[in-house]
Amino acid sequence: MSNAEVVNNAACQITALNKNDHLLRQLSSEHRAVIDVYVQRALARQQEELPVTPLSLAHDGLKLDPEMGKQVMNNILFSDRPGYTESSPSEQFIALPPPQEASAESYAALLKRRKSLRDYTDAPISLAELSSICHLAAGVKNRFKTNSNQTIPYAPFTPTGGGLLSMHLYYAALNTEGLSRGIYRYRAEKHAMQVVSLGEIRGRIFEIASFQDWIARSAGIFILVSDLDRVQWKYEDRAYRLTHMDAGVLGQSVHLTATSLNLGSCMVFGFLDDEMNQLLGIDGDRQFVSLIIPVGHPITDYSAV
């Protein structure tokens, strides 16, 4: 390489550094500190000759180390559990009927019968069927009152990290008896569906779900929403991993309960995140959609795995 090329390369590097420095100066000191953490992680991985990718850096930040462990214990001892009373633009509720009696089928038999079913008839889901799925998957057994006289649900039917109920269960009603088409949220403390928005949503669901028409043909779609505020106060950044585990556990509960009622269902990860969050009216940052589960009466000759 000639001297001129060396000088030119050095000049380009200096220009790039100056540009990066200019960009960093636009960040607040708090935000620059976040960048510094990622730089330190990248340098540590480079030293160990490990891949440096956005995913690997994020994964490193979610690992439990001694310092985070101390902070978690401190949070348990001295931090206040977040409130569960939520303001909402809608206070319209649709009461659900009592849940149906659970099937006498053994758990082993239910697991063997479980299938991911993607083809459904035109028959609607009944409100009783919806009630059973919501109650057994996302319901709670008990409630207690805090010193501030706030009622907090606990002991859910589905396990949840720290008992902190990090998941919200929404429902897109497409063909459900007793519900107008629209978006609802299950409220376990009332055993009722809270209206989020009403109107024809099938076409929008079709677009958001990556144009998978079988999803838009379902009778309804359970939408699992993670809530970081429910768990991050205790588990710090590691809470992000926890919410996804909670989503998987709740998804399995929805899936198996639907199977016990002879309904078809399938867990789906292929949807446009921002658009799905907007459909529900959530911020996509502290609360975000993790999983969706269409349900319906199955045509069992097709698409079962």
Rounded to whole angstroms, the Cα distance separating 32 from 34 reads 5
CB contact burial 210-225 (16+ within 10 A = b; e otherwise): eebebbbbbbbbbbbb
**Does 119 lie in the same domain as 48?**
no
pLDDT attached to residue 20: 66
The enclosing domain of 181 has a CATH number of: 3.40.109.10
> How many structural domains is the chain composed of?
2
Model confidence, pTM: 0.87
* Angle formed by the axes of helices 127-138 and 239-260, nearest 10°: 140
Return d(Cα 297, Cα 123) in angstroms, integer. Answer: 6
**Residue 166 placed within a domain:** yes
- 98 and 51 share one domain: no
User: Is residue 49 domain-shared with residue 97, that is, in the same domain?
Assistant: no
Does 252 lie in the same domain as 125?
yes
pLDDT in tens, the chain (305 residues): 555 554 455 455 545 556 667 677 787 888 888 888 888 888 889 899 999 898 988 888 888 888 888 888 888 888 777 766 665 666 899 999 998 876 788 999 999 999 999 999 999 999 999 999 999 999 987 766 666 666 666 678 898 998 888 999 999 999 999 999 999 999 998 899 999 999 999 999 999 999 999 999 999 999 999 999 999 999 999 999 999 999 999 999 999 999 999 999 999 999 999 999 999 999 999 999 999 999 999 996 655 55
Domain that holds residue 21: 3-61
pLDDT value of position 193: 97
User: For residue 86, is it within any domain?
Assistant: no
- Give a yes or no: residue 301 inside a domain: no
Q: Answer yes or no: do 152 and 267 share one domain.
A: yes
On whether the CB atoms of residues 287 and 240 are closer than 8 A, the answer is no
Question: Does residue 71 fall inside a structural domain?
Answer: no
Is residue 303 situated within a structural domain?
A: no
Token pair 């480079």 is at which residue?
46
